[in-house]
Amino acid sequence: MNHALDLLQPYPFEKLRALLAGAQPPEELKPIALSIGEPKHRSPAFVAEALAANLDQLAVYPTTQGIPALREAIAKWCENRFKVPAGWLDAARHVLPVNGTREALFSFTQAVVERDADGLVVSPNPFYQIYEGAALLAGAQPHYLPCREENGFNPDFDAVPADVWARCQILFLCSPGNPTGALVPLETLKKLIALADEHDFVIAADECYSELYFDEQNPPAGLLTACAELGRSDFKRCVVFHSLSKRSNLPGLRSGFVAGDAEVLKKFLLYRTYHGCAMPVQTQLASVAAWNDEIHVRANRALYREKFDAVLEILGGVLDVQRPDGSFYLWPKTPISDTEFTRELFARQHVTVVPGSYLSREVNGENPGANRVRMALVAPLAECVEAAERIRRFIQAL
């Protein structure tokens, strides 16, 4: 067996189940889960219709590169969303469909990392667990950059030593962040591109929450925006990851894309050809319909705005919590340890959250997720309101 498997840590939800084992919440209270970031809003009916209308494609082997119609829809969406000049994104060279960002982030790391005992995969801390596991299984070392409140829950990139950048092979970004909801500023993205050029590493921007924001007039910038403003038409060393899971409430469709540096994607396509992970044609055709429509995405954002407004009004004054820049998470500070808060909230109010320390790693005696919890506002409005009221009662009783 691959000895690197022994380096993998338990997934946060395994640790959560162990933490809650034996707790007996009140039977009269319906369970409310704010723990798993799985969208619960209704999936767009027209996407399901497109999927059903193309089930005859079950008889067709899909190509790893994907059908031209999907790549072209994605390229057009990127142009419109991130202000990329028309024609910069060649749908045949700069875009690759993938089966959701989770699969793509992992496989991308295997393709890009050159096995080296000193090689680093750098990521924010806290972080999406795939970054760490992918690094370890690719033969690189994870390196964690703490996301502290005083820096807007983003890493202090200026404080990173030059030797770390010199050893870096991939820099993972997550904007808006999971679990913090923080956006990486546009000027910071430009600085990171300059560092990537200087030290020859790839920036892998996980932007799967990019379409969950609050101001309809000011959609957040992404790595492609930075490339466009820098005149970087080749997107050199820059790759973005997007998904329909959060944007369109289609987590079960397993559909997303990777876009950016054509030379990197050429090698990634070769890897994926051997990997055997082509997206079914009927799924691709349903995805075309989703990427071509923004009406359902605006409606989705409106539902999240309503939930954030209601929950923050209830929790204000009893919990140290702020509205994030984006995503569907709250990242509050807890009045007691995050693990005790999580277990006692479950035991007394039948509400499940995730300890922040389970989403982070301790480095030099600091765990930047400690004394925080992640709350995913994915349940219907009424459930989120009920959960917030229970959390308020729980805190007031402490």
- Which CATH number covers residue 316? 3.90.1150.10
- pLDDT over threshold 90, residue 117: no
Q: Is 332 a domain residue? A: yes
Q: Is 105 a domain residue? A: yes
Amino acid at 348: R
338's tokens = 């995050």
Number of domains in the chain: 2
Q: Is 52 a domain residue? A: no
Do 268 and 159 share a structural domain? yes
C-alpha 173/C-alpha 230 separation (Å) is 19
Q: Is 49 a domain residue? A: no
Q: Is 220 a domain residue? A: yes
Q: Which helix (H) or strand (E) holds 256?
A: strand 256-260
Which residues is 146 bridged to in the sheet?
Answer: 125
The whole-number average pLDDT for the span 215-235 is: 97
pLDDT tens for each residue of 340-367: 999 999 999 999 999 999 999 999 999 9
Do 311 and 284 share a structural domain? no
- pLDDT over threshold 90, residue 116: no
Do 209 and 97 share a structural domain? yes
Do 189 and 105 share a structural domain? yes
Q: Which domain holds residue 380?
A: 3-42+296-397
List the CATH number of the domain containing 139.
3.40.640.10
Do 344 and 205 share a structural domain? no
The whole-number average pLDDT for the span 371-397 is: 98
pLDDT tens for each residue of 197-223: 999 999 999 999 999 999 999 999 999
358's tokens = 């389970």
C-alpha 392/C-alpha 384 separation (Å) is 12
Q: Of 314, 347, 348, 349, which Cα lies nearest the Cα of 332?
A: 314
Do 318 and 197 share a structural domain? no
- pLDDT over threshold 90, residue 142: yes
Amino acid at 170: I
Q: pLDDT at position 91, please?
A: 98
Do 194 and 143 share a structural domain? yes
CA distances from 87 to 76, 79, 240 (A): 9, 9, 18
C-alpha 359/C-alpha 96 separation (Å) is 29
